[in-house]
Structure 1
Amino acid sequence: MILDIYKDSIEFASRKISILLVLGVLSFFNFLIVPLIFVYGYNYKIIKLSTQSMINVDAVPPEFSGLKEMFIDGLKYIVVNLVYMIIPIIIIAFAISSKSQLLLLIGFLLALICVAFSFLAIPHMAANNDSLKSAFALGELKEIMSFIGYGRYIASYLGIVFISLAVIIIVAFIIGIIFNILGIATLSISTAGFGQVTQLITNAILLFLVSPFLLIFKNRSQGLIYNLRG
């Protein structure tokens, strides 16, 4: 079932290239904050759609529309993740400043637990009429996690991380091969300008295509994994 979710999510993320470019451009301007909020709002839109979907259907990423609603949803997305992570962040920051390895370990372990809950919190909010309160219903989230199976749940999340890293490595490797075939890599050794160009092209592909693709893949998987609650 988990492998089916990954397959569905990869296919889902591949079905609308225009959305990848939109997310890529917005991500480029993340430092302006507002574009970042819209990116999170679109993340939420995908998760919500996925909580209402079946696996292995011909679903496509939603349109980038309803900007007011997306902005509000983006703020909710940020608030939920911030609330879950604020205590671990404070503990880790204090541990670093005090050079306490024990406190640092506690902070990281707490961060992992909070990430596990926040990963379910967003789709749980989406599945309950966008109720912010539902995102912090820890008892309900724990029950869902238990129903899915703790080992299965953790493995499903680690699978997303592994696939994302694998995609980045494979894409970078393919780009390198293409540069070699075209002779660009050879030129870049003798000319610093070519080296900068190849790096710029690689970064652009990763930013405007690969990163948005992985973002959609992760959000689709997140919503479908939540559906395993039965």
Structure 2
Amino acid sequence: MEYGSMLRNSFDYTVNGLWGSWGKWLLLFISMIIFPLWLGYQWVIYKGESQLPPLDDWVEMFINGIKLFIVGLVYSIIPLIVLMVFGGAGVLMGGALESPGAGALVGLLIGLIVAFIFSLIALMALIRFARTDSFGEAFNISAIVAHIGKIGWLSYILALIILWIVSVLATIVYTIVVAIAVFILALIPVIGWLLALILAIVVAILIGPVVAVFVTRYYTLIYDSAAAPA
């Protein structure tokens, strides 16, 4: 898996699709507030087109977003149940051994591991669902696990770790820059705080769609890496 290439592809995909298209940029921000619309647009990105798709057919986007939300909700409920079951079993086991705290901790750790693995399956399931438009395929665990096997579990997890590191570094830089800008604007008498508030809103409008599209594209490339030559 070419991690650097995936990051560059996701960056180019995002910039080429949004830069200069300020109307699309604003509509994407609005769709993120009306979250089923954004999920519906994620559905379109998950299809794997080489360029950022246009924003059209809002009704279909909304419907697909609701469907994607339902699948994601089911996949989020299952790990919660797993955590409750293992956590409860750990407490009972610990109680029998007169160490409920240790038992609960062991149960929680086992539950977190299972939940983490399930979250990896869930992410690929959402993309599979968008590709097939089939609830059956969205919960075809054996096929999803086989697909992840083609990607490589270690490669998959490493790709997510790299994305997390990039996200943390970008967040640190973003926070520092915005904090400095807000501090400088706040020094302006009377209207300084108003300008700082406007800046924060504008930055949110600009950054939100960029990050969301970048991450969604990156996930799509991970999914498609299963078909890439070794």
Q: TM-score range by the shorter chain?
A: 0.7 to 0.9
Alpha-carbon contact 1:91-1:103 (below 8 Å) kept: no
Decide which of 21, 24, 29 is 2:26's aligned counterpart.
21
Q: With CA pairs under 8 Å and 6+ residues apart, which has the higher RCO, 1 or 2?
A: 1
Residues 1:163 and 1:201: Cα distance change in structure 2 (over 3 Å): same
* 2:217 alignment partner, SS class: helix
The percent of aligned pairs where both chains have the same amino acid is: 25
The RMSD of aligned alpha carbons is 2.8
Distance across 2 between alignment mates of 1:205 and 1:168: 16
Would you say 1:213 and 2:210 are equivalent positions? yes
The change in CA–CA distance for 1:209 and 1:41 in structure 2 (over 3 A counts) is same
C-alpha separation in 1, matches of 2:204 and 2:114: 31
Q: Which of residues 56, 76, 82 is equivalent to 1:85?
A: 76
Which of 139, 146, 150 is 2:149 aligned to? 146
Q: Measure the CA separation in 1 of the matches of 2:216 and 2:163.
A: 10
Q: Which amino acid aligns with 1:170?
A: V
1:63 is paired with a residue of what secondary structure? coil
Deviation at 1:114, TM superposition (A): 1.8
Runs of 4+ in 1 over 6 A off after TM superposition: none
1:181-217 deviation per Cα after TM superposition (whole angstroms, max 9, x unaligned): xx425x27x98x8457535632x24531212211101
C-alpha spacing 1:93/1:195, structure 2 compared with 1 (3 Å):
farther
- Alignment partners' CA distance in 1, 2:25 and 2:108: 37
TM-score by length of 1: 0.78
Match of 1:6? Answer: 7
Q: 1:207 to 1:92 in 2, by over 3 A?
A: farther
Distance in 2 between residues matched to 1:132 and 1:206, nearest whole Å: 37
Give the distance between the partners of 1:196 and 1:105, measured in 2 at CA. Answer: 47
Structure 2: gaps spanning 5 or more residues: 92-100
Whose radius of gyration is greater, 1 or 2?
2
2:126 match: 122
Secondary structure class of the residue paired with 1:64: coil
Question: CA shift at 1:143, angstroms?
Answer: 1.2
Aligned to 2:46: 47
Query: 2:199 aligned with 1:201, yes or no?
Result: yes
Q: CA deviation at 1:90?
A: 3.9
TM-score (norm 2): 0.78
Aligned length: 208
Q: 1:136 aligns with which of 135, 139, 151?
A: 139
Query: Structure 1: 5+ residue runs without aligned partners?
Result: 54-58
